[in-house]
């Protein structure tokens, strides 16, 4: 009972209740929350700390930024959702807060559009060399049960496209990437798609910040060809999968387009089925039938694999991180 009273006490203040309501609508920084509330940053930070200490909010660090959102798990998280739902939808203070939140989201969208205008030529140059992304996405969906896969991890999420495509077939999905610019775009896209159970985090793909056996499925989409150590990346992906968990690897079959190495920072010019299968075996994964989608001149391959629970996947090790184009779904 004492714990419950402490949680209720943490929420029983006007500003903190407003913060809970705002963080239920997505991930927000202290600066953004300060702009919405019209209060000083130290004051907002104190309120946020109380809510985090009570387990009502989750806090995630991304470089020099910290993002806050409604807690996802535990008794405090359940109570947080109840408290937010109890706020009248026509409350004038909440209405104004949400209007200001929408203004911030519009600003994010404008920044994303500007980024893509500046980089569209680079995306389109590579996309013109292989089958349409729609065909790749449809092939991936055929490998995911319609009833869903539980918890999903997208390694190298980029603009979050894989979360948009596969997220609806998961109970919870997380995308990780090193690029803050890409993560900012991904957050906007996920908010626009109303995929509130999908989140993104800044993290190293060789040292995933999750316990072993955390996910039911994972996807590595157009990331492997940027990796300094592809085998280590797949071993780390296998580590965070539950026994029986699925891994979907999407990349190019071997090709000879040296321009991709010189102009787009591709470290590897595709991968053979035997090479990927060997890495999967080392990581304790069983490969299934490979899907090949021939294009002109690039062929996209999808290597599905299942975590067997055997073998000893090694912990990831630090390595050179991929460039901004190493992210999956890097497309408008």
Structure tokens given for 124:
């389109």
Q: What is the dihedral of CA 62, 228, 126, 218, to 10 degrees?
A: -60
Residue 154 Cα distances to 59, 162, 234, 259, 303, angstroms = 20, 7, 12, 27, 15
What pLDDT, on a 0 to 100 scale, did the predictor assign at position 211? 95
What pLDDT, on a 0 to 100 scale, did the predictor assign at position 124? 55
User: What is d(CA 36, CA 103) in angstroms, rounded to the nearest whole number?
Assistant: 9
Quick check: helix, strand or coil at residue 59? strand
Q: Find out whether the peptide bond into 297 is cis, omega within 30 degrees of 0.
A: yes
Quick check: helix, strand or coil at residue 7? helix
Residue 214 Cα distances to 79, 92, 211, 276, angstroms = 24, 41, 6, 23
H or E element in which residue 135 lies: helix 133-142
What pLDDT, on a 0 to 100 scale, did the predictor assign at position 117? 59
What pLDDT, on a 0 to 100 scale, did the predictor assign at position 112? 55
Cβ contacts of residue 297 below 8 Å, gap of 6+? Answer: 129, 255, 257
CA gyration radius for the chain?
A: 21
- For residues 134-173, one letter each, b for 16 or more C-beta atoms within 10 angstroms of the residue's C-beta and e for the rest, the string is eebbebbeebbeeeebebbbbbbbbbbbbbbbbbebbebb
Structure tokens given for 33:
């929350």
User: What is d(CA 308, CA 13) in angstroms, rounded to the nearest whole number?
Assistant: 50
User: What is d(CA 271, CA 81) in angstroms, rounded to the nearest whole number?
Assistant: 46
User: What is d(CA 22, CA 114) in angstroms, rounded to the nearest whole number?
Assistant: 26
User: What is d(CA 193, CA 187) in angstroms, rounded to the nearest whole number?
Assistant: 10
Question: Could you tell me if 36 and 101 are in contact, meaning their C-beta atoms sit under 8 angstroms apart?
Answer: yes
User: Side-chain half-sphere of 167: how many Cα atoms within 13 Å?
Assistant: 23
Structure tokens given for 111:
């920044």
Strands 57-62, 65-70: pairing kind: antiparallel
Burial of 277 (0-12, 13-18, 19+ CB in 10 A): middle
Q: Global pTM?
A: 0.72
Q: Over its length of 332 residues, how does the chain's per-residue pLDDT go in tens digits?
A: 777 888 888 889 999 999 999 999 878 889 999 999 999 999 999 999 999 999 999 997 766 678 898 987 778 888 899 999 999 989 999 999 999 998 988 887 676 566 555 665 565 566 667 888 899 999 999 999 988 999 999 999 988 999 999 999 999 999 999 888 888 888 989 988 999 899 999 999 999 999 999 999 999 999 898 887 889 999 999 999 999 999 999 999 999 888 887 777 788 889 999 999 999 999 999 999 999 999 888 999 999 999 986 544 444 443 333 333 334 444 43
H or E element in which residue 230 lies: helix 230-239
Question: Could you tell me if 123 and 330 are in contact, meaning their C-beta atoms sit under 8 angstroms apart?
Answer: yes
- For residues 281-295, one letter each, b for 16 or more C-beta atoms within 10 angstroms of the residue's C-beta and e for the rest, the string is ebbbbebeeebebeb
Quick count: other Cβ atoms within 10 Å of Cβ 321?
15
């Amino acid at each position: 009972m004492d714990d419950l009273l402490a949680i209720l006490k943490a929420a029983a203040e006007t500003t903190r209740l407003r913060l809970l309501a705002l963080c239920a609508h997505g991930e927000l920084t202290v600066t953004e929350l300060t702009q919405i509330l019209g209060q000083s940053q130290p004051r907002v930070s104190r309120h946020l700390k109380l809510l985090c200490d009570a387990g009502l909010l989750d806090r995630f660090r991304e470089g020099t930024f910290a993002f806050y959102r409604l807690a996802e798990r535990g008794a405090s998280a359940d109570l947080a959702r109840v408290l937010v739902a109890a706020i009248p939808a026509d409350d004038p203070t909440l209405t104004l807060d949400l209007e200001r939140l929408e203004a911030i989201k519009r600003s994010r969208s404008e920044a994303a559009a500007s980024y893509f205008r500046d980089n569209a030529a680079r995306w389109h140059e590579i996309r013109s060399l292989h089958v349409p992304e729609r065909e790749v996405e449809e092939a991936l969906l055929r490998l995911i049960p319609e009833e869903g896969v539980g918890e999903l991890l997208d390694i190298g999420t980029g603009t979050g496209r894989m979360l948009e495509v596969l997220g609806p077939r998961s109970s919870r999905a997380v995308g990780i990437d090193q690029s803050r610019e890409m993560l900012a775009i991904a957050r906007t896209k996920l908010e626009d798609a109303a995929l509130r159970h999908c989140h993104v985090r800044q993290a190293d793909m060789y040292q995933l910040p999750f316990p072993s056996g955390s996910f039911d499925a994972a996807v590595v989409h157009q990331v492997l060809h940027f990796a300094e150590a592809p085998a280590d990346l797949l071993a780390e992906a296998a580590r965070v999968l539950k026994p029986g968990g699925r891994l979907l690897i999407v990349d190019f079959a071997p090709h000879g387009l040296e321009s991709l190495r010189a102009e787009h920072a591709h470290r590897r010019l595709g991968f053979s089925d035997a090479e990927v299968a060997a890495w999967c075996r080392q990581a304790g994964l069983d490969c299934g039938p490979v899907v090949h989608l021939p294009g002109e001149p690039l062929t996209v391959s999808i290597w599905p694999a299942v975590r067997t629970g055997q073998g000893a996947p090694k912990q990831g090790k630090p390595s050179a991180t991929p460039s901004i184009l190493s992210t999956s779904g890097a497309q408008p």
